[in-house]
Structure 1
Amino acid sequence: MLVGVCDFPGSYAFPPAGYGGIERWLWAVAVGARAAGADVHLLGPGWLPELEPDWIRKPIRLEDVIPGSLAERELKAAGYDLLVVGHEYPSLPAWVRTRSELGCDVATFQHSPSFQHTETAFDGQRSRLYCYSPEMIERYATHQPIAELAVHLGLDEEVPPATRGRDLVWLGRIDEDKAPHLAARAAQLLGRRIRIVGPVFSKDYVRSHEKILTADHVEWVGELGGPAKTAAIRNASVFVYTYARRYVEAGAAVFGESVRAGTPMAALTWREGTCAQAALCERTGVTAVVPPEADDETASQALAEAIQRAARLDHAEVQEIGKRRFDPTRHFEALAAC
């Protein structure tokens, strides 16, 4: 099988060292495809040149191909069986035209809760859309989505054996949607230290919750990538997950990253059917479901209780389950099976 994994214009590298959800997913698919025995071409100029000679890079994007050009003929001659691409592209006319000329299957994962696809983007057979949670399946029901847990990998993020860490950790972009102030308050209620890892996307949000986010028990780490990011997750006793009431998580990378590292999760959600419920089981984490009309203090108390329960889980077992559920090879085989 020949698989083309397509990049796209963006601010993160391909593959990224730290953040970048779709970029990390595409790299995980490439790694999983090769491990499954497929031949893989990294399509697009964004893939790092230093990946060669271990990987085949072809710096061309389908949406830029001119009909009848040499580039189009070379793509057709390659004989791709499957293209894997970011979720916007099966609705992009220029990309769809070139893909139609190639006559291959397409697989993508829905990483946005609000992107509107064209009516003909997916048929559930040759062109397939995958979604993480029941909530996302429902949102994209008209496109015949297939349930699947996304796997995300960054560059040089090999995970060593699990260890029982000490402090709590929260990781993600720091803004209103991700709501780390709830994690900081839950940690405070327990008398626990928490490390906040990630880039600040909203200074206004930080200012509005400055008191709790700058309390003595909170350590600001900043943005991490590669081995440092992996270590921050692995060395925690519990990974604390939060998001805002109105926010819909399309496919958070942190679930797979945390349990693959052997760190149990305590997740706060506002409804059933979210990514947390899809990703976690009773042996890998604890999910607190709080009514959205509840205030922040009530939510933080429920999250604190979830943290206490998650802290009793076995890290080695969490990692064993995590590596199995969020295995790149298994994930690719699911995307390729139709």
Structure 2
Amino acid sequence: MKIAVIAHLKYPIAQPFSGGLEMHTHFLACALQARGHAVTLFASKGSQATCRVEAVCPPTGIALDDVSEARIDAQEHAAYAAIMDAVARGGFDLVHNNSLHPLPLLRAPELRVPMVTALHTPPFEPFVRGVKARADDMPFAVVSESLAEEWKPFLRETRLIGNGIDLDAFAYQPKASGQRHAIWTGRLVPEKGPHLAIDAARAAGLPLVFAGPVSNAAYWSEEILPRLGPDVTYLGHLSHRELAQRVGEAHVAICTPRWEEPFGLVVAEAIACGTPVAAFSRGAIPDILDGSCGALALADDVEGLGRAIRVAVELDRHACRRRAEHLFDANTMTDRYEALYRAEILRFATLRVGKASRPACAEGGLPAELFDDA
């Protein structure tokens, strides 16, 4: 297939990844290209992938003091309009929409090719406006059951396709390394709660190392810097390879979302390395972790999380890896998206020719492989 992948424009789709959505988009585009599809990734400047990349604007999530929100909104709107114009001219067979903007959804009927949209966040405006406009004529994939529940007021039906990770990149490490310690990874922003991870690690009596981009300078200055000390080490914004190595070396990983986490890739990455996880019980995290690979605490309960850390650090690392292999193999995720693409291309073609039978569609010239597994 010739596939257009539309990314969000907040951060580049490139290493070191700003977050889980950037990593997911990069992996999916590259995996589809490796499977023989002709993929074009529409993303912000600085994006890199093994497929063709069309960079349309500077990253809009990198705050500049002299740029207003209204100007950023206008920049994003113009960029997505340019993307949709390019997609309409590009002769694509299918569009995979990974953006967080309503415009690709609102303009989808102009393309005259099928579009699949993956939902990675809870509902928010104005994105909801675009989703509601396409609720009856486009398939929507969600990354977790908890996220499906949040979208129920707007969508009668969604397809559950959980995020996958590269199990080779996040390789199993049967033994942790060095002094017993904990790790936290992610964007350093209030909604990820790294300051609570520092407090909880201290409550558990473990040193903490943490890594990720400083995405909120005020939060760093007010909440993180005052907590640094000999038992808390900032590793910087690590490459994919360095991150996997550090996570695998840790005795326990900590996850502290302060919102209903739609998935939690950092949790899946940790258990793939064999590192058990202590986390707040929010969003999809209870679906990822069970008692074999993690321990949960109530949301924002630092003392409870400290107790969960002491439990998790004793769990079996091989059991962690087994669960990751069972639930989060990126090859399985890619298989499911390909099956959804085939089914949607077939449905879209059937609607266009106005015939519902398979023989009629086949006579219309559709390639036979579209019917496999559809």
Shorter-chain TM-score range: 0.7 to 0.9
Distance 1:164 1:192, change over 3 A: same
2:318 matched to which residue of 1?
316
CA distance in 2, matches of 1:93, 1:128: 11
**1:277 to 2:286 alignment:** yes
Distance 1:65 1:243, change over 3 A: closer
Q: What fraction of aligned residue pairs are identical, expressed as a percent?
A: 19
2:359 matched to which residue of 1?
none
**RMSD of aligned alpha carbons:** 3.3
Decide which of 296, 299, 322 is 1:287's aligned counterpart: 296
**1:325 to 2:346 alignment:** no
Q: CA deviation at 1:162?
A: 1.7
CA distance in 1, matches of 2:84, 2:97: 19
> Is the Cα contact below 8 Å between 1:33 and 1:39 reproduced in 2?
yes
2:160 matched to which residue of 1?
147
Decide which of 55, 58, 82 is 1:64's aligned counterpart: 82
CA distance in 1, matches of 2:8, 2:48: 18
Instruction: Write 1 or 2 for the structure with the bigger share of helix.
Output: 2
Pairs aligned (count): 310
- Aligned partner of 1:129: which letter? A
> Is the Cα contact below 8 Å between 1:87 and 1:110 reproduced in 2?
no
Q: Which TM-score applies when normalising by structure 1?
A: 0.78
- Aligned partner of 2:82: which letter? D
Q: CA deviation at 1:281?
A: 2.1
- Which structure has more relative contact order (CA 8 Å, sep 6+)? It is 1
1:24 matched to which residue of 2?
23
- Measured against aligned partners, the alpha-carbon deviations of 1:251-300 in whole angstroms (never above 9, x if no partner) come to 3321222122221111113x5xx12112222222122225xxxxx6xx22
CA distance in 2, matches of 1:253, 1:38: 26
CA distance in 2, matches of 1:176, 1:57: 32
Distance 1:176 1:23, change over 3 A: closer
**1:120 to 2:130 alignment:** no
Alignment of 1:34-49 (within 5 A): 34=33, 37=35, 39-44=37-42, 46=44
CA distance in 2, matches of 1:49, 1:237: 33
SS of 2:9's partner is coil
2:5 matched to which residue of 1?
5
Distance 1:72 1:242, change over 3 A: closer
Structure 2 unaligned spans of 5+ = 57-78, 344-374
**1:137 to 2:139 alignment:** no
Structure 1 unaligned spans of 5+ = 291-295
Q: Which TM-score applies when normalising by structure 2?
A: 0.71
SS of 2:16's partner is coil
CA distance in 2, matches of 1:303, 1:160: 26
2:67 matched to which residue of 1?
none
Distance 1:179 1:59, change over 3 A: closer
SS of 1:177's partner is helix
**1:224 to 2:235 alignment:** no
CA distance in 2, matches of 1:276, 1:326: 13
Distance 1:57 1:216, change over 3 A: closer
> Is the Cα contact below 8 Å between 1:89 and 1:96 reproduced in 2?
no
Q: CA deviation at 1:250?
A: 2.6
CA distance in 1, matches of 2:254, 2:264: 13
**1:249 to 2:247 alignment:** no
Distance 1:187 1:48, change over 3 A: closer
SS of 1:222's partner is coil
Q: CA deviation at 1:322?
A: 1.0
Distance 1:216 1:106, change over 3 A: same
- Aligned partner of 1:106: which letter? V
Distance 1:65 1:132, change over 3 A: closer
Q: CA deviation at 1:171?
A: 0.9
CA distance in 1, matches of 2:107, 2:55: 15
Decide which of 167, 179, 195 is 2:209's aligned counterpart: 195
